[in-house]
Amino acid sequence: MKTLRTVAIVGVGLIGGSIGLALRKWRPAVDVVGVGRSPKRLKIAEDCGAVTSWSTDMAEALAWADLVVVCTPVDRIVEDVRRAAEHCRPGTLITDTGSVKQPIVEALDEGLPGDCRFLGSHPVAGREKSGIAHAKAKLFKNRPAMITPTENTRAEDAGRLRAFWESLRANVYEISPAEHDEILASTSHVPHVVAAALAAAIPEGFSGYAGTGLASTTRIARADAGLWMPILLANRANVAKALERFETQLAALRASIQAGDGEQTQRILALAQGRAEALRNAE
Amino acid sequence: MKTLRTVAIVGVGLIGGSIGLALRKWRPAVDVVGVGRSPKRLKIAEDCGAVTSWSTDMAEALAWADLVVVCTPVDRIVEDVRRAAEHCRPGTLITDTGSVKQPIVEALDEGLPGDCRFLGSHPVAGREKSGIAHAKAKLFKNRPAMITPTENTRAEDAGRLRAFWESLRANVYEISPAEHDEILASTSHVPHVVAAALAAAIPEGFSGYAGTGLASTTRIARADAGLWMPILLANRANVAKALERFETQLAALRASIQAGDGEQTQRILALAQGRAEALRNAE
């Protein structure tokens, strides 16, 4: 397997910056080159030790990259991967970190300029905060990182990408793009939609009386609306299916409460309690 | 104002135990007597310093109480307050800590045996964990504690109860029982219902891929089903109204996603983001 000497990160926000910090921490021999549009943000990334060098010029930044990680918003990934392929050395492996995989992989799987190859990634490690200021080396530690090979993926590339995420201390899963998007609709996108609807439904004057429970239930709705909109739109078919499952559960619980049926209400709450318990490990 | 010398706590779980610990911390001159059915649990409360003495015999435990705080589950409060009134000194003030107020206050406002008086309280300080083992002195610190006087309430009692919760470092609000239940339906009961439906809707095999976002969105659903069932049933009319507001928001967000309307989706998400931001102070 080729030695990883230089990683280029396109987009140094929360995720890109955290990848840089994690690489510097656990793979200090690797050079990390930041690429982006804002010199100011790239300078901050350098100052906080997330990149060893940077450029706003893709050709310059990608000249020596062995691996390119595109960490831009979901609606810009396809374009940014194609642009990166035009500027990096022939045969370079390119990955991304988007929360949606199927439309991105479909668009890029057929081949890229310069014999470059795309293989999708998704480190499940977002936060409600975005931007380089909140980046941290341990963002991926013990978190799932999904990689989404297809029939066109070379085993060698999958192995290299797995090793990359494992060196950032993530738990790597290989899964198809379609399966990824179905799972994420349930575990991330619908929870976001529900948390947003919940926050929007609280009359403003009631906020002062809220407890810690509501703050954590709506925490993810504090995430950047501009980053989430394209995720939800790109995965809308799976989001619709997962929302239906949620609404079925909600309707059953609501009906039992309205009927004053204590036994049935408690049965549903107890089922939910067990499921919620199984999700706490992610905390 | 009468000096507070002895407080009796009926039910030494998370809330009762935390009241005891907070009293011992900030009002060390006050005796705290624990009352309950389980000698084992009462012994633990004594061992961890939440009560200075205890008894399973109400008559014995309440003999010297200046204030009785009933911290039992919502469906047992009315009965426990009436029982307490039979055993404490004439004219003793009794309060509770239930998450629902109107049905409880209505049942008890008309008067109690021995000229005792009831005035409802609700410290908004629950957690997903229950039991004395999770009690802590700072549970109420900077949290809302609502007290719910009626036209029958004596100003002196409201003043004493306010001083009591303030000495536990809570932010005290006086509010009508009806208003309390309307607010709590939005800020606590519906979030619980929604979190439970969300947890119940996640296919079991997906749990391993979940991130921290889902863990916090469903955290409150980990709370004891047996404690929550009576809360939701007792406040079902308000829960139904607040659920409607939630469903209206959800339907709007869902429709804009399904229509692929990025502008409208982002507008709703941005509104939710602002509201969720306002709720974070409770964290």
Contact assessment for residue B273 and residue A227, using Cβ atoms and an 8 Å cutoff: no
Res A4: pLDDT: 92
Res A127: pLDDT: 74
Q: Which residue of A has its CA nearest to B140?
A: A211
Name A173's Cβ contacts closer than 8 Å, sequence gap at least 6.
Answer: A144, A145, A146, A147, B208, B209
For the stretch A131-143, what's the b/e string if a residue is b when 16 or more beta carbons lie within 10 angstroms of its beta carbon?
ebeebbbebbeeb
Note the Cα A113 to chain centre separation in Å.
25
Suggest the residue from B220, B250, B267 to mutate for an interface test with chain A (most A CBs closer than 10 A): B250
CA distance linking residue B2 with residue B70, whole number of Å: 20
CA distance linking residue A148 with residue A102, whole number of Å: 9
Using the predicted structure, report yes or no on whether residue A1 has a pLDDT greater than 60: no
Contact assessment for residue B182 and residue B238, using Cβ atoms and an 8 Å cutoff: yes
Helix (H) or strand (E) holding A215: helix A212-217
CA distance linking residue A24 with residue B282, whole number of Å: 36
- Per-residue pLDDT tens for B14-45? 999 999 999 999 999 999 999 999 999 999 99
How is B198-241 classified by DSSP, letter by letter? HHHHS-GGGGGG--HHHHHHTGGGGS-HHHHHHHHHHTHHHHHH
Q: At residue A121, what is the residue type?
A: S
Res A110: pLDDT: 87
Using the predicted structure, report yes or no on whether residue A190 has a pLDDT greater than 70: yes
Q: Between residues 196 and 215 of chain B, which touch chain A (CB distance below 8 Å)?
A: 196-204, 206-215
Q: Are A219 and B253 in contact (CB < 8 Å)?
A: no
Q: Are B272 and A183 in contact (CB < 8 Å)?
A: no
What does the pLDDT average to over B147-168?
Answer: 97
Res B212: pLDDT: 86
Q: What is the pTM of this model?
A: 0.93
Q: Model confidence at B282, in pLDDT bands (50, 70, 90)?
A: low
Q: At residue A3, what is the residue type?
A: T
Using the predicted structure, report yes or no on whether residue B1 has a pLDDT greater than 70: no
Name the DSSP letter for residue A62. H
Which of B144, B186, B211 minimises the CB distance to A188? B211
For residue B206, which residues of chain A lie inside 8 Å, CB to CB? 183, 186-187
Nearest-neighbour CA in chain B from A53: distance (Å)? 31
Note the Cα B153 to chain centre separation in Å.
21
Q: Are A196 and B146 in contact (CB < 8 Å)?
A: no
Instruction: For domain A6-175, give the fold.
Output: Rossmann fold (3.40.50)
Q: Which residue has the tokens 């964990």?
A: B129
- Per-residue pLDDT tens for B61-71? 999 999 999 99
Residue B130: Cβ within 10 Å count = 17
Q: Model confidence at A226, in pLDDT bands (50, 70, 90)?
A: very high
Q: Which residue has the tokens 């709370």?
A: B223
Using the predicted structure, report yes or no on whether residue A281 has a pLDDT greater than 80: no
Nearest-neighbour CA in chain B from A121: distance (Å)? 13
Q: Between residues 230 and 249 of chain A, which touch chain B (CB distance below 8 Å)?
A: 230, 232-233, 236, 239-240, 242-243, 245-246, 248-249
Which of A103, A179, A22 is closest to B209 using CA atoms? A179
Q: At residue B57, what is the residue type?
A: D
| Paired tokens of A64 | 């020596």
- Per-residue pLDDT tens for A30-41? 999 999 999 999
Res A57: pLDDT: 97
Res B224: pLDDT: 94
| Residues of chain B above pLDDT 70, percent | 98
- Per-residue pLDDT tens for A45-62? 999 999 999 999 999 999
Contact assessment for residue B46 and residue B54, using Cβ atoms and an 8 Å cutoff: yes
Beta bridge partners of B121: B147
CA distance linking residue B254 with residue B33, whole number of Å: 53
Q: Model confidence at B283, in pLDDT bands (50, 70, 90)?
A: low
Handedness of CA B127, B128, B130, B134 (dihedral sign): negative
**pLDDT mean across residues, chain A:** 95
Q: For A33-47, A59-73, B62-76, B116-130, which range has the lowest pLDDT when averaged over its residues?
A: B116-130
For residue A209, which residues of chain B lie inside 8 Å, CB to CB? 124, 144, 146, 173, 183-184, 187
- Per-residue pLDDT tens for A104-139? 999 999 889 999 999 999 999 877 788 899 999 999
Note the Cα B194 to chain centre separation in Å.
18
Q: Hey, is the C-beta of B108 within 8 angstroms of any chain A C-beta?
A: no
For residue A206, which residues of chain B lie inside 8 Å, CB to CB? 183, 186-187
Q: What 3-state DSSP class applies to A31?
A: strand
Which of B197, B225, B230 minimises the CB distance to A250? B197
Which of A222, A243, A269 minimises the CB distance to B273? A222
CA distance linking residue B224 with residue B220, whole number of Å: 9
Q: Which CATH number fits domain A180-282: 1.10.3660.10, 3.90.1260.10, 3.90.25.10, 1.10.10.10?
A: 1.10.3660.10
- Per-residue pLDDT tens for A250-279? 999 999 999 999 999 999 999 999 999 998
Q: For A123-127, A236-240, B122-126, B158-162, which range has the lowest pLDDT when averaged over its residues?
A: A123-127
Note the Cα B17 to chain centre separation in Å.
13
Contacts of A161-167 spanning 24+ positions with Cβ under 8 A:
A161/A93, A161/A95, A161/A119, A161/A121, A163/A1, A164/A4, A164/A7, A164/A67, A164/A95, A165/A121, A165/A123, A165/A140, A167/A23, A167/A26, A167/A27
Nearest-neighbour CA in chain B from A119: distance (Å)? 19
Q: Model confidence at B2, in pLDDT bands (50, 70, 90)?
A: low
Suggest the residue from A269, A277, A280, A281 to mutate for an interface test with chain B (most B CBs closer than 10 A): A269
CA distance linking residue A124 with residue B211, whole number of Å: 6
- Per-residue pLDDT tens for B179-232? 999 999 999 999 999 999 999 999 989 988 988 889 999 999 999 999 999 999
Q: Are A196 and B257 in contact (CB < 8 Å)?
A: no
Q: Which residue has the tokens 């047992």?
A: B76
Res A67: pLDDT: 98
Res A282: pLDDT: 59
- Domain locations in chain A? 6-175, 180-282
Res A283: pLDDT: 60
- The gap between the terminal CA atoms of chain B, to the nearest Å, is 35
**E strands within B49-202?**
53-55, 67-70, 93-96, 117-118, 120-123, 144-148, 171-174
Q: Which residue of A has its CA nearest to B238?
A: A258
Res A211: pLDDT: 85
